[in-house]
Amino acid sequence: MILIRFPDAESKRRALGFLAGRFSFKSWSDGDMVVSASALSHLATENIPFSVEGQAPYERLISAVRNPSTAKV
């Protein structure tokens, strides 16, 4: 999975609309998105501007199951 960023909110909105139902992805409110490598060429073909940040770190791929600070002892 590849971490990408968009130059503006409109580009991200277009990417979300294009990717939904076609490719697996994960998106965050800070503008970052993780997509499969095969989705990159399709985004470029659709003229959606983005920049590749590299391989997505493990921490960005997993979801927090629980918040350790609220765990009962």
Of the candidates 19, 7, 3, 20, the residue with the CA atom closest to the CA atom of residue 59: 3
Of the candidates 1, 28, 53, 21, the residue with the CA atom closest to the CA atom of residue 12: 28
Q: Is 20:62 a contact under the CB 8 Å cutoff?
A: no
Q: Confidence band (pLDDT; 50, 70, 90) for 73? A: low
Tell me the three state secondary structure of residue 35: strand
Tokens read off for 15: 């990417």
- Domain of residue 17: give its range: 2-57
CATH number of the domain to which 44 belongs: 3.30.70
pLDDT (tens digit, 9 = 90+) per residue, 12-60?
A: 999 999 999 899 888 888 888 999 999 999 999 999 999 998 887 777 6
19 located within any domain: yes
Query: Does the pTM of the predicted model rise above 0.85?
Result: no
Q: How many domains does the chain have?
A: 1
28 located within any domain: yes
Residue 33: CB atoms within 10 Å: 25
62 located within any domain: no
